[in-house]
Chains A and B, each alone.
Chain A
Amino acid sequence: ELKVEQNPLFLSMQEGKNYTIYCNYSTTSDRLYWYRQDPGKSLESLFVLLSNGAVKQEGRLMASLDTKARLSTLHITAAVHDLSATYFCAVDPYNAGNMLTFGGGTRLMVKP
């Protein structure tokens, strides 16, 4: 059974600080997704990582994938309040771009 573990599950940080969210998974996969969810909202796709060593950046967020270590990271640079949300990683065990297994989510709160 595929397991996807995120840590931390909850993160409270000050504006301007840097931090990393980790996503470990238990089976081989070359596809990993990061999503953002605001309270009461659906999921917004942030990054799609499709190969070992993939790195993608958008604004203050940068995601990377190490398929050998079965690890993805989501790095936050100089956090701002607007980044407060829950972040999910999800693994595609069939490398087909469809059925996903989600991590438990990281609830991020950025304090002014």
Chain B
Amino acid sequence: SAVISQKPSRDICQRGTSLTIQCQVDSQVTMMFWYRQQPGQSLTLIATANQGSEATYESGFVIDKFPISRPNLTFSTLTVSNMSPEDSSIYLCSVGRTDTQYFGPGTRLTVL
């Protein structure tokens, strides 16, 4: 299995501001993934974060809005920039290990 922690667990932010979410994994992984879960919805992949290279973004997500850092093999950050109420979601990081993808506890973001 994988032990994944995220900070913060939840936050309430004002529109126009930015929030950086941290994800820490208990051991080294090549790829880390960021997903968004909008209220009452399923999960959507935002981007894949590889150490030493730029993140790869899925259709509908752009780096200016969701910049990602991956400074080492156990850590990544996702920033939600210039937030609007539509960004209110749960943001989850994920890693793959032994044919299974594990998810962190999530960061519940509310934008007012």
Chain A residues close to B by CB (< 8 Å): 31, 33, 35, 40-43, 45, 48, 50, 88, 90, 92, 96-105
Complex A-B, nearest 10 residue pairs according to Cβ-Cβ distance, in ascending order: A98-B96, A43-B103, A102-B42, A102-B43, A97-B96, A42-B105, A42-B103, A104-B42, A97-B99, A42-B106
Give the secondary structure class of B's interface: strand
| Complex alpha-carbon distance, A52 and B42, angstroms | 25
Partner of A98, one of B48, B92, B108: B48
Q: How far is the CB of B53 from chain A (nearest CB, A)?
A: 15
Interface residues of B in 92-106 (CB under 8 A from A): 92, 94, 96, 99-106
Q: What is the total number of residues of chain B having a CB less than 8 Å from a CB of chain A? A: 20
Q: Which has the most chain A C-beta neighbours within 10 Å: B45, B48, B101, B106?
A: B101
Q: Which has the most chain A C-beta neighbours within 10 Å: B42, B48, B105, B106?
A: B42
Which residues of the partner chain A approach B105 to less than 8 Å between Cβ atoms? Answer: 41-42
- Number of contacts between A and B (CB, 8 Å)? 51
Q: A33-B101, A42-B106, A105-B42 are in contact. Are A99 and B92 (CB under 8 A)?
A: no
Which residues of the partner chain B approach A101 to less than 8 Å between Cβ atoms? Answer: 45
Q: A42-B92, A42-B103, A43-B103 are in contact. Are A98 and B44 (CB under 8 A)?
A: no
Name B90's closest neighbour in chain A (CB-CB).
A42
Name A105's closest neighbour in chain B (CB-CB).
B42
